[in-house]
Every structure is written in C-alpha cells, then in structure tokens.
Amino acid sequence: MQDPLHRYEFNSNSILNHVVEPSDMAQFKTILVTGGAGYIGSHCVVDLLETGYEVIAIDNFANAVGDDDGSPALRRVEQITGKKVVFYRADLLNKEQINDIFDKHRVECVIHFAALKAVGESMMQPLLYYQNNLLGMLNLLEVMRSHNCFQLVFSSSCTVYGEPEWLPITEVHPTGKITNVYGRTKYFIEEMLKDLSAADERWNVISLRYFNPVGAHPSGLIGEDPTKEFTNLMPFMAQVALGKKPALTVFGSDYPTPDGTGVRDYIHVMDLAAGHVAALRMISEKHIGLKVYNLGTGRGVSVKELVTVFERVTGAKVPLKYEARRHGDITAMWADPTLAKEELGWTSQYTVEEMCTDFWRWQTMNPDGYPKKAMKPNHIVNGNS
Ligand SMILES: NC(=O)c1ccc[n+]([C@@H]2O[C@H](COP(=O)([O-])OP(=O)(O)OC[C@H]3O[C@@H](n4cnc5c(N)ncnc54)[C@H](O)[C@@H]3O)[C@@H](O)[C@H]2O)c1
C-alpha cells in the first residue's frame, strides 16, 4: 500500500477548459432528471438546458424546497437560462407516477440524482435509506425498461471506495468496504447496474463517482438549500460566517495530514454539471455497457485550508470548534480524474477560491435560501411548465 499522503497535490497542470457548446449535445433530446430540485440536480439542469436538451425534472421535495407551483430552484434555473423546465412533484417509490411520466414524454435518457444522502441519518434509519435509494432505483430501472429507455447516468460517490488503499484514487480501486449505510446504497446500486448491463446489452450506463461537491452557480441565484438537517462543510461554514451558527465543528485535528484535519477533493458543482453533459455525449455516441468515472479535481484540500481560503475570499470569520474524530470518517481522499479526462474529455476548471466565492455569493444573496411558501401535502404538482 502506498502512503495515502505521498502526493498531496496532483494534476495541477492538467486543467483543460470545458466549455459547454451546442456541439456537446448528444443525439437524444429529452432527458429526465430525477432529484432535479436538489442541489446538484438543479445546477446540472442549467448546463443541460444551455447545451440544448429538453429537461423533465422530478422531485418529491424530501430534501428540496417546494411549493404548490413547483420548485423555486427550477424557476431560478429558468430565469438563468431563459428556457423552460417541465417539472413533476413525484416520488420514485410511487411506480405508477413514474410510469405516467414516461407514458406522457418520450424520455431518451435519465440522469438519476434522487436519493437520500445524509450519512448520520442513514445509520439511524437504515430501512429508510435502503427503501428510498434501492427501491427508488429499482422502480426507475423497471419503468425505463418498459419504455425502451436504456440510457442512464447515475450519481454515485467516492464513498464506495471506503478507506483508500492508495491515493490519488483510481476507478480500479476496490469498492465495498464502506462504513455507512448511505455509502452502501450507492455500492449496492453500482453492483445492481453491473448485473443489469451484463444480463441485457441494451443498457448503456455511466456511474459518476463524485468527490466533494461545493460552490454554487456563479449568478448567486441557485445554490444548496437542504430541507433536512445538514452537516455538509460549506453550507455549515457559510451559516457560521453569517452568524447563524456559533462555530464550525471540526471533527478530528490529529489525522496524519499536514495540518491534522481531514483532506478531501472539493469540486465545484458547475464542474460536476459539465461532467454529466460529457457523460451524456459519451453514451449517445457509443455503446459502452457500464462505465464508471471519478469526478474530482485531483487535488486534496484539508478542512483547515478550505476554511482559510473561505475566510480570505469572503472577508468573514469562521470560528472553529474541535471535536474528536467521528467513527467511520476517512483521513484523506482525492481523485485521480485521468480516466474522465481521457475518455469523456472532461476536467475540472474551477479553483477552490471560486468554489468559496460562488457559494458565498449564493448565501449572501439568499441568507434564508429559497423563498418558502406553504405547500399542500401529497399534492401532485406539475409546475414550472
Ligand atoms: N452532495 C454531495 O456531497 C454528494 C456527493 C456524492 C454523491 N452525491 C449524490 O448526488 C445526488 C444528488 O445529491 P445532492 O447533493 O444534489 O442532494 P439533494 O438532497 O440536494 O438532492 C437529491 C434530491 O432527490 C430528491 N429525492 C430523494 N428521494 C426521492 C424520491 N424517492 N423521489 C423523488 N425525489 C427524491 C430530494 O428531494 C432532493 O431534492 C444524490 O444521489 C447523492 O447521493 C452527492
């Protein structure tokens, strides 16, 4: 095993600018985006619309702000792009609803973001996570198959790797030794997709393993506004900087890293969005069965480093409070993004400074997130259309 920290920075000379152009558009036109009202989904919809795709988005608002007219995030997306998003408030656990949407629209490809993602909650409510993430995926795959739609881009996570055996982590790194339920749902789905593509060659699937998405659209109009309790570093840090929370808790200051805090590969959410457009292009052009790609920058950044950059670019102070390491947390993890560069023609282009500046712009323009209006329970909405 290599020393996990033998190379602290990687790939700094391989930044290619990924510019979304209409020529990036794959042959198919209509993309169904599940979890489209969520953080990464809404940012990805911007790129899809700007590339020329038609987007149908669905979300059950389990972790996104919704109202009787649809999704405020997606209305902002329409404002940014000047294009329409067809939106359904629908639940992947309700197969009939999903079936109806496929009956109504000729969906050519699905990007599947919808999932519950809170690691802590997943440990306390494993059945909720297995039901939502696994059953939701199964329902979706069955409805896709019955409508002859076999193109899928799946939101996976670097969490499937567990504790790294080497760094930077490549796609051939073993998966499965995962310490939390959320991560296991991603791992099980990847295994399911392997079986499916081996059994039926019509499937054409890309699983994208995201590293640590942060930042927001540079307009400041959309960003991360979860409705569940969250512990994600950047939204938490921004809340502290705004004075809404007293201090940022840092779990572990005695890791074998240069400053003792955990190291992660933070990636701007608009870079992730561009990765999805690149993946769509690949599956529209080639039959690949199933492929897996890391989406990361290739650079490890410690918690302390991120806080320092955040304070510098925002001018805000983020008091820190140190606590013991959390069970299951990993010391250091960053990607080798070479495969995505070589095969998808994708590399990250945003810097850590831009990740912080863009997130801060979103947070200061929208200190309380999206406008919240009362929403009728169990009301099926077809808003934003
Ligand atoms: N944000 C991260 O740090 C990160 C890292 C790696 C992977 N991912 C994965 O990327 C995807 C998107 O993450 P995100 O950060 O945008 O999360 P998010 O919670 O903002 O978005 C997920 C969306 O899916 C919706 N949803 C959940 N269950 C649903 C269901 N049964 N039916 C319909 N909609 C449902 C939620 O309401 C939410 O809007 C998820 O699959 C997540 O596991 C996220």
Question: How far is Cα 23 from Cα 251, in angstroms, rounded to an integer?
Answer: 45
Query: Is the pLDDT at 3 greater than 50, yes or no?
Result: no
Higher-scoring residue by pLDDT: 15, 121: 121
| 63-84 tens-digit pLDDT | 999 999 999 999 999 999 999 9
What per-residue confidence (pLDDT) applies to 103? 98
| 206-240 tens-digit pLDDT | 999 999 999 999 999 999 998 887 778 899 999 99
Query: Is the pLDDT at 328 greater than 50, yes or no?
Result: yes
Question: How far is Cα 45 from Cα 62, in angstroms, rounded to an integer?
Answer: 19
Q: Tokens 């939390």 belong to which residue?
A: 180
Question: How far is Cα 39 from Cα 44, in angstroms, rounded to an integer?
Answer: 9
* Annotated catalytic residue, options 53, 129, 161, 182: 182
Pocket flag, ligand 1, residue 363 (CB < 6 Å): no
What per-residue confidence (pLDDT) applies to 26? 55
Q: Is residue 6 part of a domain?
A: no
Nearest CA to ligand 1 atom 19: 63
Question: How far is Cα 196 from Cα 56, in angstroms, rounded to an integer?
Answer: 25
Pocket flag, ligand 1, residue 233 (CB < 6 Å): no
Strand partners, 301: 264
Burial of 385 (0-12, 13-18, 19+ CB in 10 A): middle
Higher-scoring residue by pLDDT: 230, 273: 273
Pocket flag, ligand 1, residue 153 (CB < 6 Å): no
Pocket flag, ligand 1, residue 63 (CB < 6 Å): yes
Mean pLDDT of all residues in 359-371? 94
Domains: count for the chain: 1
Q: Is residue 8 part of a domain?
A: no
Mean pLDDT of all residues in 167-180? 96
Residues 6+ apart with CB under 8 A from 23: none
User: How many other CB atoms sit within 10 Å of the CB of residue 313?
Assistant: 18
What per-residue confidence (pLDDT) applies to 383? 54
Q: Considering the chain, what percentage of its residues have pLDDT values greater than 70?
A: 91
Pocket flag, ligand 1, residue 240 (CB < 6 Å): no
Q: Is residue 231 part of a domain?
A: yes
Q: Is residue 56 part of a domain?
A: yes
What per-residue confidence (pLDDT) applies to 327? 83
What per-residue confidence (pLDDT) applies to 377? 67
Pocket flag, ligand 1, residue 160 (CB < 6 Å): no
Q: How far is the CA of 351 from the centre of ligand 1 (A)?
A: 24
What per-residue confidence (pLDDT) applies to 12? 30
Angle at 15 between CA 14 and CA 16, to 5 degrees: 110
Q: Considering the chain, what percentage of its residues have pLDDT values greater than 90?
A: 84
Q: Is residue 313 part of a domain?
A: yes
Q: Tokens 């808003």 belong to which residue?
A: 383
Half-sphere exposure of 370 (CA within 13 A, CB side): 27
Pocket flag, ligand 1, residue 113 (CB < 6 Å): yes
Catalytic: 53? no
Instruction: Report which ligand 1 atom has the smallest distance to the Cα of 62.
Output: 37
Select from 40, 130, 133, 188 the residue to mutate for testing ligand 1; criterion: most ligand atoms less than 8 Å from CB. Answer: 40
Q: How far is the CA of 113 from the centre of ligand 1 (A)?
A: 5
Nearest CA to ligand 1 atom 34: 59
Q: Is residue 111 part of a domain?
A: yes
Three-class secondary structure of residue 323 per DSSP? strand
Instruction: Report, in angstroms and rounded to the nearest whole number, the Rg of the chain calculated over CA atoms.
Output: 20
The DSSP element (H or E) to which 176 belongs, if any, is none
What per-residue confidence (pLDDT) applies to 385? 41
The CA dihedral of 298, 303, 307, 308, to the nearest 10 degrees, is -70
Q: How far is the CA of 117 from the centre of ligand 1 (A)?
A: 6
Q: Is residue 271 part of a domain?
A: yes
User: Where in the sequence is the domain holding 168, given as residue range(s)?
Assistant: 22-365
Question: How far is Cα 74 from Cα 51, in angstroms, rounded to an integer?
Answer: 16
What per-residue confidence (pLDDT) applies to 60? 97
Amino acid at 238: A
Q: How far is the CA of 185 from the centre of ligand 1 (A)?
A: 12
Q: Is residue 261 part of a domain?
A: yes
> To the nearest whole number, what is the mean pLDDT of the chain?
90
Strands 54-59 and 30-34: parallel
CATH of the domain at 235: 3.40.50.720
Angle at 359 between CA 37 and CA 7, to 5 degrees: 110
Query: Is the pLDDT at 17 greater than 50, yes or no?
Result: no
Angle at 224 between CA 366 and CA 43, to 5 degrees: 110
